[in-house]
Amino acid sequence: MTIDLVLFFGLALIAVVAAIAMIASRNAVYSALFLVFNFLTVATLYLLLNAAFIAVVQVTVYAGAIMVLFLFVIMLLGTERESIGGRIRWQMPLSIVLGLALAGELAYVLLRNDIVQGPLADLTVEFGSPASIGRVLFNEYLVPFEVTSILLLVAMIGAIVITRKQREEGK
Amino acid sequence: MSLALLIEWSLKSVVIILVILGGFAYLTLFERRVLARMQTRIGPNRAGPWGLLQPVADGVKLIFNEELIPAQADKVLFLLAPVITVVPALILLAVIPFGPEVTLFGRSYYLGLASNVNVGVLYILAVSSIAVYGIVIAGWASGNKYALLGGVRSTAQMVSYELALALAFVGPIMLAGSMSVDAIIEGQRHLWYVILQPLGFLIFLIAAVAEINRAPFDMPEAEQELVAGYHAEYSGMKFALFFMAEYGKMIAVSFIAATMFLGGYLGPFIDRWPLLGPIYLFIKVVALLFFIVWLRATFPRFRYDQLMAFGWKILLPLGLLNVVVTGVIIVLVGG
SS3 B26: helix
Measured over the CA atoms of residue B64, residue B68, residue B74 and residue B78, the dihedral's sign is negative
- Cβ contact, residue pair B125, A129, below 8 Å: no
Phi first, then psi: give them for residue A25, nearest 5 degrees: -70, 140
CB B308, CB B163: distance < 8 Å: no
Fold assignment, A1-84:
Four Helix Bundle (Hemerythrin (Met), subunit A) (1.20.120)
CB B180, CB B97: distance < 8 Å: no
Mutation to test the B interface, candidates A35, A44, A54, A56, most B Cβ within 10 Å: A56
Determine the pLDDT at residue B139.
Answer: 82
How distant is the Cα of A130 from the closest Cα of chain B, in angstroms?
Answer: 7
Nearest to B31 by CA among B54, B62, B56, B59: B54
**Mean of the per-residue pLDDT values for chain A?**
82
Measured between beta carbons, which residues in chain B are less than 8 angstroms from residue A3?
A: none
**pLDDT less than 70: residues of chain B:** 1, 104-108, 219-228, 335
The residue ranges of every structural domain in chain B are 3-333
Mutation to test the A interface, candidates B132, B135, B160, most A Cβ within 10 Å: B132
The residue ranges of every structural domain in chain A are 1-84
Confidence at A79, pLDDT banded by 50, 70, 90: low
Helices B198-211 and B276-298: crossing angle in degrees, nearest 10, is 70
User: What is the per-residue pLDDT across A36-62, written as a single tens digit (0 to 9) for each?
Assistant: 999 999 999 888 887 888 888 888 888
SS3 B264: coil
CB B185, CB B256: distance < 8 Å: no
Left if phi > 0, otherwise alpha if psi is -120 to 50, otherwise beta: which for A24? Answer: alpha
- Spatial separation of the C-alpha atoms in residues B98 and B264, rounded to whole Å: 8
Determine the pLDDT at residue A24.
Answer: 85
User: What is the per-residue pLDDT across A101-158, written as a single tens digit (0 to 9) for each?
Assistant: 999 998 888 787 665 555 556 666 667 778 888 888 888 899 999 999 999 999 999 9
- Spatial separation of the C-alpha atoms in residues B229 and B145, rounded to whole Å: 9
Determine the pLDDT at residue A163.
Answer: 83
- Cβ contact, residue pair A65, B129, below 8 Å: yes
Helix and strand totals (H; E) in chain A:
7, 0
CB B168, CB B326: distance < 8 Å: no
What residue in A sits closest to B117 (Cα-Cα)?
A52
Determine the pLDDT at residue B12.
Answer: 84
Measured between beta carbons, which residues in chain B are less than 8 angstroms from residue A65?
A: 129, 159, 162
- Cβ contact, residue pair A71, B118, below 8 Å: no
Measured between beta carbons, which residues in chain A are less than 8 angstroms from residue B137?
A: 33
User: CB-CB: which of B123, B148, B156 is closest to A56?
Assistant: B123
Determine the pLDDT at residue B223.
Answer: 63
Burial call B195-229: b when 16+ CB within 10 Å, e when fewer: ebbeebbbbbbbbbbbbbbbbbbbbbbbeeebbbb
How would you class A51 by CB atoms within 10 Å of its CB: exposed for 0-12, middle for 13-18, buried for 19 or more? Answer: buried
CB B259, CB B104: distance < 8 Å: no
User: What is the per-residue pLDDT across B217-268, written as a single tens digit (0 to 9) for each?
Assistant: 776 666 666 666 777 778 778 888 888 888 888 898 999 999 888 887 887 7
Residues 6+ apart with CB under 8 A from A18: A34, A35, A37, A38, A41
How distant is the Cα of A96 from the closest Cα of chain B, in angstroms?
Answer: 33
- Work out the angle at residue B27's Cα, subtended by the Cα atoms of residues B22 and B31, and round it to the nearest 5 degrees: 165
Mutation to test the A interface, candidates B79, B80, B125, most A Cβ within 10 Å: B125
Q: Which run of H or E residues covers position B219?
A: none
Q: Is 0.85 exceeded by the ipTM?
A: no
Measured between beta carbons, which residues in chain A are less than 8 angstroms from residue B125?
A: 56, 60, 64
Q: How far is CA A2 from the centre of its chain?
A: 27
Q: Which run of H or E residues covers position B314?
A: none
Alpha-carbon dihedral angle through residues B171, B248, A57, B119, given to the nearest 10 degrees: 60
What residue in A sits closest to B156 (Cα-Cα)?
A72
